[in-house]
Amino acid sequence: MSETGLPPALVIERVVLLGYMTSGKSTVGQALARRLEWGFLDFDVEIEQREGRTVKEIIATDGEDVFRRMEAALTDEAAARPGLVLAPGGGWILRPEQLDVLGATTLSAWLRVSVDETVRRLRADTIDRPFRGHPDPRAMIARMLAERDPLYRLADVSIPAEGRTPEAIAFELETIIRTRREVLIPFPLVDERAPHDPNEPRERRRSPSA
């Protein structure tokens, strides 16, 4: 307890951006890190640098599970570093226990983008993503989102991430983080939140069907 008798403030030390491929995690994450003067860790980029091969090659050669284990190892490292914006790949949330590895001082933010906009971005983007060139991208996205949506909803905050610039989204996140660092008790600041009680322990939130 603090001197006021209130619980001590939960200082945000890290941000992890969640969202489907092309939701803007890397772009927004870079802008947010610059604004906060924090470090920035782009999981795909970091893994590719360490491995000396692309994510697509890693998955094609060693399988997706090996890549997911690389993501998990990087998550363990990140959990020991304060002042960090994390932009993992869109499938990082398939291991939702990684949110607990990062801990309560990590704000998780879901960048929400519609399927239509996702299809547009996937077509326009030049990065050679493993799922690029799929004959029916809409069906692929719908199938993956059916599995991932309940997991993205575990995020502390849900941020609309289309129809506005990455800089505007980064500014909204910066405001949330700076405000929360100054108050004694964390409280919801955005209207559009993932539909769960943010004060509920993550473990309970994690089983929407239970």
Ligand X SMILES: O=C(O)C1=C[C@@H](O)[C@@H](O)[C@H](O)C1
> Which has the closest alpha carbon to 15: 82, 108, 103?
108
- Put residue 29 in one of left, alpha, beta given phi > 0 → left and psi -120 to 50 → alpha: alpha
Please state the closest distance from residue 22 (CB atom) to Mg ion, in A: 8
Nearer to ligand ATP, 10 or 166 (CB): 166
**Residues between 117 and 136 with contacts to ligand X, criterion CB under 6 A:** 129-130
DSSP 132: T
205 in a labelled binding site:
no
DSSP 90-104: TTGGGSTHHHHHH-T
Strands (E), the chain: 14-18, 39-42, 84-87, 106-112, 157-160
Please state the closest distance from residue 74 (CB atom) to ligand X, in A: 11
Residue choice 14, 25, 205, 206 for contact with ligand ATP (CB under 6 A): 25
- Work out the angle between the directed axes of helices 55-62 and 43-51 (0-180°, nearest 10): 70
List the single partner that 186 binds among Mg ion, ligand X, ligand ATP, none, CB under 5 to 8 Å by kind.
none
Check residue 130 for interaction with ligand ATP (CB under 6 A).
no
The answer to whether 110 touches 159, Cβ cutoff 8 Å, is yes
Structure tokens at 59: 């998955």
Check residue 21 for interaction with ligand X (CB under 6 A).
yes
**How many residues of this chain bind ligand X (CB under 6 A)?**
8
Distance in angstroms (rounded) separating the CA atoms of residues 89 and 95: 12
Q: How many CB atoms lie within 10 A of CB 165?
A: 12
Residue choice 55, 122, 161, 169 for contact with ligand X (CB under 6 A): 55
Residue choice 15, 22, 159, 172 for contact with ligand ATP (CB under 6 A): 22
Please state the closest distance from residue 175 (CB atom) to ligand X, in A: 26
Residue choice 19, 29, 90, 186 for contact with ligand X (CB under 6 A): 90
Residues in the chain: 210
Please state the closest distance from residue 124 (CB atom) to ligand ATP, in A: 6
Q: Which residues bind ligand X (CB under 6 A)?
A: 21, 44, 55, 89-91, 129-130
Q: Which residues bind ligand ATP (CB under 6 A)?
A: 19, 21-27, 44, 87, 89-90, 121, 125, 129, 161-162, 164-166, 169
Residues of each annotated binding site for substrate: 44, 68, 90, 148
